[in-house]
Amino acid sequence: MSWRTRSPARASRATTSRRFATRSRNPRHPPRTERALANENSHPWTAEQALERLKEGNARFVNGEAHFPTVQKEVLADLTKGQQPYATILGCSDSRVPPEVIFDAHLGELFVVRVAGNVLGSAIFGTLQYAGAHLRTPLFVVMGHEGCGAVEAAIASKFHGAEHKSRIELLVENILPALDGLDGTQPPGDLLHAAVESNVRWTLRTLRETPEVKAVGATSAMKLVGAIYELETGRVRFLEP
């Protein structure tokens, strides 16, 4: 059948198949059938490769060149065999900050944990432990974002004596330690900016003190980094250690 007589639906499927085939041949993203051959105690990606892929995806998103999400039946079928994401993202529940979109990632590439204020708790610790112990993701990212409402609530509580509903108060209490040392007299925008970053760094320090991270960190098999999403630009700023 010539290109001119091919139906739009079949043409679309053919284009999708070619796109998927090209992507599968990319040595930086081997198909899952190859990845499944990897030793169960290893991962085909290094932390540095995973971090670079996140940066490349965010650059596509910022430049309007994202190709998420094109869902192919082949991909869905492949993912029924299991998952092997290259990064775990702990982020905020804010509807403006979906990691899969801002990193232009495909299904099965990111293991995402989201909670207001990107705070830690027993369920979050358990989920992160699962990502490390069973999925072996080499990269863990704690990502906050500008204008975070949960951090703003913590600021109001600490510096202005604001009270919140009981369950929100529990959430705020998890953020308060991150605000120690901040100057509450600075302009609100500057204070929130500093508090968002401080909250990410507090979470990173807490995670680095866990026995699991200490044990794995000694082997350099895993990387833990912090990041801030900029609402206005769409860029993700990775924090220096």
Instruction: Check residue 214 and give its pLDDT.
Output: 85
Instruction: Check residue 41 and give its pLDDT.
Output: 59
**If you search the block for the tokens 């092997």, which residue do you land on?**
84
Q: Are 155 and 179 in contact (CB under 8 A)?
A: yes
Peptide bond preceding 177 in cis form (omega within 30 of 0): no
Query: What's the pTM?
Result: 0.80
Task: Give dist(CA 47, CA 87) in Å, integer.
Answer: 8
**C-alpha distance across the termini of the chain, in Å:** 58
Q: What is the pLDDT of residues 163-193, one digit of tens each?
A: 999 999 999 999 999 999 999 999 999 999 9
Helix, strand, coil: what percent of the chain each, to 5?
A: 50, 10, 40
Which residues of the chain register pLDDT less than 70?
1-42, 68-70, 218-219
Q: Classify 187 as helix, strand or coil.
A: coil
Residues in contact with 23: Cβ distance below 8 Å, sequence separation at least 6, in sequence order: 29
Instruction: Check residue 52 and give its pLDDT.
Output: 97
Instruction: Check residue 14 and give its pLDDT.
Output: 38
Q: Are 210 and 200 in contact (CB under 8 A)?
A: no
Q: Residue ranges of the domains in the chain? A: 1-30, 40-238
Contacts 24+ apart (CB under 8 A), 62-65: 62/233, 62/234, 62/235
Q: Classify 179 as helix, strand or coil.
A: helix
For domain 40-238, the CATH architecture is 3-Layer(aba) Sandwich (3.40)
